[in-house]
């Protein structure tokens, strides 16, 4: 079957030929034949197309012909569908198994951040429901509510025992569902005061300090939004962009001060004295001696530039080439070795010591719920490790001090004690419209910030994750119309319109990223809107050869047959331009996104990636699951996961030992084959009543009966078969990173529901971290489809 009609399309040469090839040292053989056959249909999700094509099936990279897609949800979402997720269920049903109502000790903050279901859980009294998805974060950017800056002069109040209340190891696990539920929607009476805290957590005066200007703006946005958002269930008291009501945490922890080792490097073959500061930077370089950065001139130049500043004008060291960092490198290796050789107990003790110090920084209390903090450790100084050909690689990333750090915390919360005596924070804010706990200016690029956020397991993150997937699901209801619309615009005489149409097509079909503009002081990578003429080569009659460096300087290479109008359009956009001119000269991401928003509220380019990834998984699982055993089902899942990873171009560098590992596998297989031969020989003899032959090493063999021998042979054969499978999948996945899509693109509810339907334990697919991150999805109905 397949497609409609005309043969303007040839076999779609849609191969991801050389997957790997980053600019990095991951030289790759290219061209891997990609996967399985799937018969072609035009309205299949992307994934299927890709696989089709790889085999050279006839196919048409056509845009969804209207009406061919069978999905019942292919229409602008009806209200009920939009909300079907589970927001409309009575609360009691939604999270039932997890929350316990009423309890003795609701004065304790709930603790979050662990995957396990703890049955000792306390349920906060408040039956408040978290406000519905869209209202909470969604599209509207809110006015700053507070921003009230507290001058740094304050007596620090230590947040001590409160975070680590007596038993925080066992209340570690409030399921997120419970937390979410608790997140007050009827906000004003914060139901979960953590009484144990010294600084009582109160609701903060949310929207008090808006400026007039800001409120006006807000109104405007509200109007716009109201077209599509659910009626607000927000209580009057809570502000639009409010992310939390109370926030308590302990700030951040700093890396230890530099301890000079005194190992002397050589200059011109002679040892040189360095001050601790100079030595510190030299050591940063020395420990990178065995990385690929050493082969990069840019890296060394940048390092030298920054180090020279620290060495000073008249220093003996005048030329990096005459420096020998080996002694320091070797010292460092020895230190590592020492560490490795420590006994388990020693290691354990050290770890525990560290834990003890860090414990209080690990947690924040958000609206009375104890949540894990994601990155409470300030980044240590080092040399900047930019990816690809980053112009700033090798530059010194200076040490961050408390005076660089801005803390965001609840108005009523104690201000975290500065962990370095005698120093103090740069600034304290009380901004409840943002989720960050602290930030500092990126020392490499002063235009950028480094933030401290809550961990992925937090309710705040979980909520926005869920919103992301709900938005992607909403796209399902619009996609048909959108495809129709851009297909129509391929022929537009308005060049801008035409470019928007083609760009949208690429984003939809190839899951390209939006492609924001980049500065000159960043690696030269592109996304859809920033594609250069030289990145897309049209090969008649209708093939486009893509080759560019995308995010993280990962190479994207793909040959794809497209509809003729797209092909022609690309040719047109290229004419009269140089190779490094922009392909889409009338376009940037904000124009593109502005256009997308007209098609669907809240729609942006990145939603297509989420949508295509999730719909592909859902579709493939549905089609390929054949009701086998758990192992077979897991294999099905992995194939689907891999498909998604390929669509999204999630790559990893081939491990250094990959080849060696393959060789070893082959050797083992050969060895087994030899064993089988011998066994077969013995079997023949045994059948004739003869004793087995001498084994090669001369040891006597047991005289086995034919049945036993046959059994051994079968076992060995099975083992070989398994090893062959392992080999294949290993080779197959050597450059494919499965994790990224699981973490960021695949709606966990698809996985959870599928597991429920096919009796696959969810733990086989989600590790502890993922279970914690996706706690919000665990109670999904088994019939859930994306």
Q: Which of residues 428-467 bind DNA (CB under 7 A)?
A: 431, 433-436, 439, 442, 444, 447-451, 453, 461, 464-465
| CB of residue 210 to DNA, shortest distance in Å | 10
| CB of residue 217 to DNA, shortest distance in Å | 5
* Stretch of residues binding DNA (CB under 7 A), selected from 44-52, 317-325, 597-605, 699-707: 597-605
* Stretch of residues binding DNA (CB under 7 A), selected from 7-15, 28-36, 523-531, 704-712: 523-531
x/- track of binding to DNA for residues 465-504 (CB under 7 A) = x--x------------------------------------
- 118 versus 653: smaller Cβ distance to DNA: 653
CA 647 to chain centre: 15
* Stretch of residues binding DNA (CB under 7 A), selected from 37-45, 120-128, 646-654, 701-709: 646-654
Instruction: Classify 154 as helix, strand or coil.
Output: coil
Cα 7-10-12 angle, rounded to 5 deg: 130
200 phi-psi bin (left φ>0, alpha ψ -120 to 50, beta other): beta
Q: Which of 189, 590, 681, 684 binds DNA (CB under 7 A)?
A: 590
**548-587 residues near DNA, rule: CB under 7 A:** 550-554
Q: Which of 276, 491, 739, 761 binds DNA (CB under 7 A)?
A: 739
* Stretch of residues binding DNA (CB under 7 A), selected from 44-52, 84-92, 642-650, 717-725: 642-650
Q: Which of 301, 379, 678, 781 binds DNA (CB under 7 A)?
A: 379
CA–CA separation, 466 vs 654, rounded Å? Answer: 33
| CB of residue 705 to DNA, shortest distance in Å | 26
Closest CA to 315 of 288, 290, 281: 281
Q: Which of 664, 677, 687, 711 binds DNA (CB under 7 A)?
A: 664
Closest CA to 483 of 9, 40, 62: 62
Helix H or strand E segment including 303: helix 297-311
669 phi-psi bin (left φ>0, alpha ψ -120 to 50, beta other): alpha
Strand ranges across the sheet with 406-408: 149-150, 427-429, 406-408, 438-441, 449-452
Q: For DNA, how many residues bind (rule: CB under 7 A)?
A: 95
- 188 versus 291: smaller Cβ distance to DNA: 291
- 323 versus 648: smaller Cβ distance to DNA: 648
Q: Secondary structure of the chain: what % helix, strand, coil (to 5)?
A: 40, 10, 50
**53-112 residues near DNA, rule: CB under 7 A:** none
Closest CA to 510 of 134, 31, 61, 19: 61
> Could you tell me if 131 and 234 are in contact, meaning their C-beta atoms sit under 8 angstroms apart?
yes
| CB of residue 208 to DNA, shortest distance in Å | 16
Q: Which of 589, 616, 633, 777 binds DNA (CB under 7 A)?
A: 589
Q: Which of 384, 567, 611, 786 binds DNA (CB under 7 A)?
A: 384
User: 407 has which bridge partners?
Assistant: 428, 438
CA–CA separation, 272 vs 751, rounded Å? Answer: 60
- 554 versus 621: smaller Cβ distance to DNA: 554
- The answer to whether the bond into 541 is cis (omega within 30° of 0) is yes
| CB of residue 128 to DNA, shortest distance in Å | 21
x/- track of binding to DNA for residues 406-425 (CB under 7 A) = --------------------
> Could you tell me if 598 and 723 are in contact, meaning their C-beta atoms sit under 8 angstroms apart?
no
| CB of residue 207 to DNA, shortest distance in Å | 13
- 377 versus 690: smaller Cβ distance to DNA: 377
> Could you tell me if 605 and 592 are in contact, meaning their C-beta atoms sit under 8 angstroms apart?
yes
| CB of residue 339 to DNA, shortest distance in Å | 8
| CB of residue 639 to DNA, shortest distance in Å | 15
List C-alpha distances in Å: 289 to 197, 353, 563: 49, 31, 50
267, 478, 637, 745: the active-site residue? 745
Helices and strands of the chain, counted as H and E runs: 21, 17
Determine whether 745 is an active site residue: yes
- 179 versus 606: smaller Cβ distance to DNA: 606
Strand ranges across the sheet with 555-561: 536-539, 543-549, 555-561
645 phi-psi bin (left φ>0, alpha ψ -120 to 50, beta other): alpha
Residues contacting 711, CB < 8 A, separation 6+: none
- 107 versus 586: smaller Cβ distance to DNA: 586
- CB atoms < 10 A from the CB of 636, how many? 20
- CB atoms < 10 A from the CB of 163, how many? 23
- 181 versus 742: smaller Cβ distance to DNA: 742
- CB atoms < 10 A from the CB of 129, how many? 18
- 3 versus 293: smaller Cβ distance to DNA: 293
**313-352 residues near DNA, rule: CB under 7 A:** 347, 351
x/- track of binding to DNA for residues 131-160 (CB under 7 A) = --------xxx-xx----------------
* Stretch of residues binding DNA (CB under 7 A), selected from 387-395, 556-564, 691-699, 751-759: 387-395
- 359 versus 552: smaller Cβ distance to DNA: 552
Q: Which of 648, 686, 746, 753 binds DNA (CB under 7 A)?
A: 648
User: Count of alpha carbons within 13 Å of 331, Cβ hemisphere only?
Assistant: 15
- Contact call for residue 390 and DNA (CB under 7 A): yes
Beta pairing, strands 266-267 & 149-150: unpaired
- 126 versus 251: smaller Cβ distance to DNA: 251
CA–CA separation, 179 vs 462, rounded Å? Answer: 10
- Contact call for residue 660 and DNA (CB under 7 A): yes
CA–CA separation, 286 vs 678, rounded Å? Answer: 55
**601-630 residues near DNA, rule: CB under 7 A:** 602, 604-607, 609-610
| CB of residue 131 to DNA, shortest distance in Å | 15
DSSP 242-260: ---S-EEE---BPPPPP--
- 442 versus 781: smaller Cβ distance to DNA: 442
**206-235 residues near DNA, rule: CB under 7 A:** 214, 217, 221
- Contact call for residue 375 and DNA (CB under 7 A): yes
- Contact call for residue 516 and DNA (CB under 7 A): yes
DSSP code of 642? H
| CB of residue 553 to DNA, shortest distance in Å | 6
**253-312 residues near DNA, rule: CB under 7 A:** 291
Q: Which of 45, 239, 368, 388 binds DNA (CB under 7 A)?
A: 388
Report H helices in 3-101: 46-54, 79-82, 91-94
Catalytic residues: 745
């Amino acid at each position: 079957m397949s497609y409609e009609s005309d043969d303007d399309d040839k076999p779609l040469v849609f191969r991801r030929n050389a997957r790997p090839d980053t600019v990095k040292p991951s030289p790759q053989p290219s061209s891997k034949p990609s996967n399985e056959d799937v018969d072609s249909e035009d309205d299949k999700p992307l994934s299927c197309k890709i696989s089709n094509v790889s085999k050279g099936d006839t196919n048409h990279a056509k845009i969804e012909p209207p009406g061919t897609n069978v999905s019942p949800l292919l229409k602008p979402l009806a209200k009920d569908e939009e909300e079907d997720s589970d927001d409309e269920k009575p609360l009691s049903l939604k999270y039932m198994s997890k929350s316990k109502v009423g309890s003795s000790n609701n004065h304790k903050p709930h603790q979050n951040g662990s995957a396990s279901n703890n049955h000792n859980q306390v349920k906060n009294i408040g039956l408040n429901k978290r406000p519905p998805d869209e209202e909470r974060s969604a599209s509207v950017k809110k006015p700053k509510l507070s921003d009230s800056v507290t001058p740094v002069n304050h007596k620090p109040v230590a947040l001590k025992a409160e975070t680590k209340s007596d038993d925080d190891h066992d209340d570690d696990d409030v399921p997120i569902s419970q937390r979410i539920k608790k997140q007050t929607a009827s906000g004003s009476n914060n139901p979960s005061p953590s009484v144990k805290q010294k600084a009582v957590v109160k609701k903060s005066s949310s929207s008090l300090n808006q400026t007039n200007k800001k409120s006006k703006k807000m109104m405007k946005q509200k109007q716009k939004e109201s077209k599509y958002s659910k009626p607000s269930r927000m209580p009057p008291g809570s502000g639009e962009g409010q992310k939390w009501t109370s926030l308590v945490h302990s700030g951040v922890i700093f890396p230890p001060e530099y301890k000079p080792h005194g190992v002397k490097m050589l200059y011109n073959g002679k040892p040189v004295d360095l001050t601790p500061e100079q030595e510190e930077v030299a050591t940063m370089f020395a420990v990178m001696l065995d990385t690929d950065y050493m082969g990069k001139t840019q890296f060394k130049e940048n390092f030298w530039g920054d180090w020279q500043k620290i060495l000073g004008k008249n220093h003996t060291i005048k030329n990096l080439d005459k420096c020998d960092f080996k002694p320091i490198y070797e010292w460092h290796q020895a230190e590592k070795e020492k560490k490795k050789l420590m006994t388990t107990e020693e290691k354990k003790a050290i770890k525990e010591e560290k834990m003890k110090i860090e414990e209080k920084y690990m947690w924040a209390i958000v609206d009375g719920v104890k949540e894990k903090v994601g990155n409470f450790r300030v980044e240590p100084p080092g040399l900047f490790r930019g990816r690809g050909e980053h112009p700033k690689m090798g530059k010194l990333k200076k040490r961050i001090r408390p005076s660089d750090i801005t803390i965001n915390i609840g108005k009523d919360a104690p201000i975290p004690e500065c962990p370095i005596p005698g120093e103090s924070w740069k600034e304290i804010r009380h901004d409840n419209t943002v989720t960050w706990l602290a930030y500092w200016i990126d020392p490499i690029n002063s235009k950028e910030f480094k933030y401290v956020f809550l961990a992925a397991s937090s309710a705040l993150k979980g909520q926005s994750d869920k919103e992301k997937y709900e938005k992607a699901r909403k796209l399902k209801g619009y996609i048909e119309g959108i495809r129709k619309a851009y297909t129509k615009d391929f022929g537009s005489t308005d060049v801008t319109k035409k470019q928007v149409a083609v760009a949208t097509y690429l984003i939809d079909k190839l899951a390209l990223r939006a492609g924001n503009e980049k500065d000159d002081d960043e690696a030269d990578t592109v996304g859809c809107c920033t594609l250069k003429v030289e990145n897309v080569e049209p090969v008649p009659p209708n093939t486009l050869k893509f080759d560019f460096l995308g995010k993280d300087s990962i190479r994207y290479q793909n040959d794809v047959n497209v509809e003729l109008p797209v092909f022609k359009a690309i040719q047109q956009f290229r004419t009269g331009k140089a190779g490094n001119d922009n392909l889409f000269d009338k376009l940037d991401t904000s124009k593109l996104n502005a256009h997308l928003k007209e098609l669907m509220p809240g729609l942006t380019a990145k939603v297509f990636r989420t949508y295509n990834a999730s719909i592909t998984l859902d579709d493939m699982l549905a089609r390929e699951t054949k009701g086998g055993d758990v192992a077979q089902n897991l294999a099905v899942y992995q194939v689907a996961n891999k498909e998604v990873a390929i669509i999204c171009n999630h790559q990893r560098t081939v491990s250094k030992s990959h080849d060696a590992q393959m060789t070893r596998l082959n050797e083992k297989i050969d060895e087994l084959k030899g064993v089988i031969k011998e066994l077969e020989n013995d079997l023949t003899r045994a059948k004739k009543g003869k004793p087995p032959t001498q084994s090669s090493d001369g040891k006597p063999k047991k005289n086995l009966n034919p049945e036993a021998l046959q059994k051994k042979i079968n076992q060995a054969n099975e083992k070989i078969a398994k090893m062959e499978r392992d080999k294949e999948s290993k080779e197959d996945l050597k450059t494919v990173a499965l994790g990224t899509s699981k973490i960021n693109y695949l709606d966990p509810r698809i996985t959870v529901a599928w597991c429920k339907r096919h009796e696959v334990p969810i733990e086989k697919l989600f590790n502890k971290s993922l279970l914690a991150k996706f706690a919000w999805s665990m109670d999904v109905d088994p019939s859930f489809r994306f």
